[in-house]
């Protein structure tokens, strides 16, 4: 047993560009030390593991605790956060206590208490200071941001928020002086779509619009929302608000993906491991260089399209200054541009595309389409007609969305073992466009 745990201290070759580390438990504490470019792993109360994100070497060091904390409490009741130029903070998940990792010790630095007011909120650091957006308590969701004052060692209200719907399942990130978050349009929404941005300098919220084209993400396959990732069993969606792109990764070999963390020039993959001989679950960490992770797992990278606000305001502005003709001309041009820019792929077509991209050599057998059309147990003839209609709709929508000809979407070929059967293959032209995010 001890030999297995010692694996974590060895640099094992997972493939050419990745390193694999076996852990003791399924939910270790993970955080990034940006100052030293290290991943800090805590899966035991006696020590910390420092893994260099440069050379992937692991070092074990002793770890000491504040007398008011236990290892179990730190894992379940605190959220680790950090950014470049800040220490590693451990913040009370309901807001309140604040601890930092200082050399070999986790020490408490606040004069606060357990607020229990922002469970499930989003935690981030700006200019070295912890912030919390949203959360819930006493059956009430919050729409404000609180900020920790490092001098007074207390929490204060940063912003009372805007009129949006808050839920704990959301996607967020911080870029320079802006906090970005995707929130649900209505309470029953499973996937957040409304894109809001908070200016941390001006302390103002702005509604950007509704994100298009993410309805194809299947809720029943989602494990968790983690920062700017939606994590599934063997896939992940990354929302990059710097480049305004949504990236889809299919992670193989198939394992239960628990978390994907993007570090400086690296991706860190935490997966569940089942040891059948001991009937025990643990976890492993694999660290990839950024370019190698994308080469190995990236399926598509598409621009994030946003449904813009109505253009009526521009018409009213034009009328008020007497430029009716100019405004109408602008609206005509804008409407036509939006038609080209905001093309939406329907949910069924998105599901078919995802299924197609997941197959080796991008090949599908005709019978594999049946699950998409067999929702009411129709006859064989009806299934055949529905498949034909589905493929026709697929060709039209995909050709329009990616700017290719209809006959460049896919083509059919005879099955190598049964000439009576057909196989369908995505064209190289389309696959190249998808991979390039065009």
Nearest alpha carbon to residue 93 among 129, 134, 126: 134
Residues 93 and 141 in one domain: yes
Cross-strand partners of 212? 305
For 251-273, what is the mean pLDDT?
A: 87
Residues 425 and 335 in one domain: no
Nearest alpha carbon to residue 150 among 77, 79, 86: 86
Which helix (DSSP H) or strand (DSSP E) does residue 354 occupy? helix 347-357
- Asked if residue 189 has pLDDT above 90, the reply is no
Residues 167 and 66 in one domain: yes
Indicate the pLDDT class of residue 254, thresholds 50, 70 and 90: low
The residue out of 326, 341, 356 marking a domain boundary is 341
Residues 337 and 352 in one domain: no
Contact 46/89 with Cβ under 8 angstroms?
A: no
Residue-range definition of the domain harbouring residue 401: 347-436
At 232-252, the pLDDT tens digits run 878 899 999 988 999 999 987
Angle ∠(374,376,380) on CA atoms, nearest 5: 55
**DSSP code, position 119:** B
Contact 7/27 with Cβ under 8 angstroms?
A: no
Residues 6+ apart with CB under 8 A from 188: none
- Asked if residue 332 has pLDDT above 60, the reply is no
For 136-146, what is the mean pLDDT?
A: 85
Of residues 130 and 324, the one with the higher pLDDT is: 130
Res 421: pLDDT: 77
Residues 79 and 218 in one domain: yes
For 151-157, what is the mean pLDDT?
A: 95
Cross-strand partners of 267? 262, 288
**DSSP code, position 9:** G
Indicate the pLDDT class of residue 375, thresholds 50, 70 and 90: low
Res 165: pLDDT: 67
Nearest alpha carbon to residue 83 among 145, 133, 130: 130
Cross-strand partners of 274? 281
Residues 277 and 330 in one domain: no
Res 321: pLDDT: 45
Res 311: pLDDT: 40
For 171-176, what is the mean pLDDT?
A: 92
Residues 399 and 331 in one domain: no
Nearest alpha carbon to residue 172 among 194, 190, 187: 194
Indicate the pLDDT class of residue 308, thresholds 50, 70 and 90: low
- Asked if residue 273 has pLDDT above 50, the reply is yes
At 60-91, the pLDDT tens digits run 999 998 888 899 999 999 999 999 999 999 99
Res 30: pLDDT: 96
Which helix (DSSP H) or strand (DSSP E) does residue 371 occupy? helix 370-373
Res 220: pLDDT: 64
| 271-280: burial string, b at 16+ Cβ within 10 Å, e else | bbeeeeeeee
Contact 209/195 with Cβ under 8 angstroms?
A: yes
- Asked if residue 274 has pLDDT above 50, the reply is yes
Residues 354 and 336 in one domain: no
- Overall domain count for the chain: 3
The tokens 């193989």 sit on which residue?
252
Contact 183/170 with Cβ under 8 angstroms?
A: yes
If DSSP codes are grouped into helix, strand and coil, which group holds residue 255? coil
Res 359: pLDDT: 81
Most confident of 8-22, 112-126, 165-179, 397-411: 112-126
Contact 324/318 with Cβ under 8 angstroms?
A: yes
Nearest alpha carbon to residue 407 among 391, 383, 389: 391
Res 75: pLDDT: 92
Contact 430/419 with Cβ under 8 angstroms?
A: no
How many other β-carbons are positioned within 10 Å of the β-carbon of residue 422?
Answer: 14
Of residues 318 and 215, the one with the higher pLDDT is: 215
List, edge to edge, every strand of the sheet that includes 245-250.
222-226, 229-232, 235-240, 245-250, 298-303
Contact 90/99 with Cβ under 8 angstroms?
A: yes
- Asked if residue 330 has pLDDT above 70, the reply is no
Nearest alpha carbon to residue 99 among 135, 54, 60, 69: 69
The tokens 């064989």 sit on which residue?
380
The tokens 């694996």 sit on which residue?
7
Residues 387 and 246 in one domain: no
Which helix (DSSP H) or strand (DSSP E) does residue 345 occupy? none
Report helix, strand and coil shares of the chain as percent, to nearest 5: 25, 40, 35
Res 50: pLDDT: 96
Nearest alpha carbon to residue 114 among 144, 166, 152, 69: 69
Residues 209 and 297 in one domain: yes
Percentage of the residues of the chain whose pLDDT score is greater than 70: 84
* 356, 360, 361, 367: CA torsion to nearest 10: -50
Residues 232 and 98 in one domain: yes
Res 298: pLDDT: 93
> What is the domain-level CATH number for residue 393?
1.10.10
What is the β-pairing status of strands 18-23 and 12-15?
antiparallel
Give the separation between CA 43 and CA 57, rounded to whole angstroms: 17
| 358-368: burial string, b at 16+ Cβ within 10 Å, e else | eeeebebeeeb
Of residues 382 and 320, the one with the higher pLDDT is: 382
> What is the domain-level CATH number for residue 34?
2.120.10
Indicate the pLDDT class of residue 255, thresholds 50, 70 and 90: low
At 24-65, the pLDDT tens digits run 898 899 999 999 999 999 999 899 999 999 999 999 999 998
Residues 267 and 335 in one domain: no
């Amino acid at each position: 047993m001890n030999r297995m745990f010692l694996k974590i201290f060895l640099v094992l070759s997972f493939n050419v560009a990745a390193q694999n580390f076996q852990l003791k438990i399924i939910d270790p504490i993970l955080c990034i030390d940006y100052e030293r470019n290290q991943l800090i792993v805590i899966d035991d109360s006696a020590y910390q593991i420092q893994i260099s994100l440069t050379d992937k070497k692991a070092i074990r060091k002793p770890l000491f605790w504040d007398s008011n904390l236990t290892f179990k409490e730190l894992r379940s009741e605190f959220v680790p956060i950090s950014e470049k130029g800040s220490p590693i903070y451990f913040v009370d998940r309901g807001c309140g206590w604040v601890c930092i990792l200082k050399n070999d010790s986790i020490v408490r630095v606040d004069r606060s208490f357990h607020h229990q007011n922002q469970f499930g909120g989003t935690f981030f650091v700006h200019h070295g200071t912890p912030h919390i957006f949203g959360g819930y308590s006493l059956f009430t969701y919050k729409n404000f941001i609180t900020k920790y004052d490092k001098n007074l060692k207390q929490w204060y209200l940063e912003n009372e928020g805007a009129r949006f719907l808050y839920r704990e399942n959301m996607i967020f990130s911080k870029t320079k002086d802006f906090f970005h978050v995707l929130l649900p349009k209505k309470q029953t929404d499973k996937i957040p779509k409304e894109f809001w941005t908070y200016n941390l300098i001006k302390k103002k919220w702005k509604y950007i619009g509704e994100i298009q084209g993410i309805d194809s993400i299947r809720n029943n396959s989602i494990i968790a929302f983690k920062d700017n990732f939606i994590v599934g069993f063997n896939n992940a969606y990354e929302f990059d608000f710097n480049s305004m792109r949504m990236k889809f990764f299919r992670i193989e070999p198939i394992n239960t993906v628990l978390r994907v963390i993007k570090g400086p020039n690296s991706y860190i993959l935490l997966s569940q491991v089942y040891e059948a001989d001991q009937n025990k679950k643990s976890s492993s960490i694999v660290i990839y260089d950024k370019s190698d992770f994308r080469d190995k797992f990236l399926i598509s990278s598409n621009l994030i399209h946003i449904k813009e606000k109505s253009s009526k305001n521009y018409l009213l502005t034009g009328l008020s200054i007497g430029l009716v003709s100019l405004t109408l001309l602008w609206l005509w041009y804008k409407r036509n541009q939006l038609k080209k820019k905001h093309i939406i792929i329907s949910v069924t077509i998105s599901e078919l595309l995802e299924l197609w991209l997941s197959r080796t050599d991008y090949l599908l057998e005709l019978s594999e389409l049946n699950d998409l059309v067999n929702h009411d147990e129709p006859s064989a003839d009806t299934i055949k007609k529905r498949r034909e209609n589905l493929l026709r709709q697929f060709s039209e929508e995909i050709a329009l969305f990616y700017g290719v000809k209809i006959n460049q979407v896919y083509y059919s070929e005879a099955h190598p073992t049964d000439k009576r059967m057909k196989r369908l293959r995505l064209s190289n032209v389309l696959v190249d466009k998808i991979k390039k995010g065009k």
